Chains A and B, each alone.
Chain A
Amino acid sequence: MATERKATVTWHGDLMSGSGIIDSVTSGAFGPLEVDWANRAEDAQGKTSPEELIAAAHAACFAMALSHGLAEAGSAAEQLETAATVTFVPGTGITKSVLQVTGTVPGIDEDAFRRAAEDAKENCPVSGALKGNVELELNATLA
């Protein structure tokens, strides 16, 4: 079954001095979120950016895939603390996403955990969408 998710942005003005509002997301879980070029390409000062949203999507997708892989292998996670860091090079594009996970997983050794994490990194749907154009990196450890 196909699943669709929608978000809407309204932008005013040009790129450098204008700004946008992300709103009307399907779930209503977040928004309105402000975006502008300075917060995207320079220091983040309280406004989000496409790269921050990609990081959130990737960390969320990876955590789900890993929880599933671990449970299927017979060692369900108690907790997975994951982070994604996405690199944007203005003029070049989005170049890299680094996943970091610390797992609390009863009855699994470090090697098996790393293999499960590697599998999730390769196969979660967001990785699938990024792969080919973006370097993916993983650091996985047990708590």
Chain B
Amino acid sequence: MGSVGAKDVPVLLSPEGLRIDGRKLDELRPIHIEAGALHQADGSAFVEWGANKVMAAVYGPREVHPRHLQQNNKAVIQCRYNMAAFAVDERKRPGLDRRSQEISKVIAEAFESVVFAEEYPRTSIDIYIEVLQANAGTRCAGLVAASVALADAGIPMVDLLPAVAVGKIGGAIALDLKKEEDNYGEADLPMALVPQSGRLVLLQMEGHMTEDELAQSLDLGVTGCRAIYEKMKLALRERYSVAPVPGGSA
């Protein structure tokens, strides 16, 4: 990806164990979540996560299009993950490619695991994720944004879905890879957690790690997800907290 000519692989980990942006191995990039960022959607959220900028919107429950997807006993959950042409270094052709379609599918399935879809038979809950600026971890940022957007739309769910990618760089397991680490690292493992049950509803992996490293990665990812979970709840509280009424009773 990224590099135009043949370049040397950058040093991803300093002798002191710090990463190229100065983070420790178990440190997340800065995350800012804004619930209710759009006006037309039933629910929405904007997530700025490191150099990622991702918008999510939720529409529904509403009529199902195309009609043949309609289910008589529950809502169908449809997801469209899309990347803007200018979101990456080398312009991406607009529209859905195979990567986007796969990500859309695994994200939809992750939400099917937590949304009380049986409450809305014969309807569709449509999730739209737009990556405006990409710097590794966009599916996780998209999941976090979509999850907050679902809550903003008032869709009943078991729990919010925090997500993060863990990877292996310079032989070490690291939380929340940025672009260079994703490009030149040895492994990438995105996951989404149901905090209440401690179970993962999205898990993918590419690269190579040992069994021990995998176990370590899962633990680190779960810890990371729990930290992100707090930020998601905070964003929703900010959106829906009512300013205290002067002189009102507590």
A binds B: no
Q: Which residues of B contact A (CB under 8 A)?
A: none
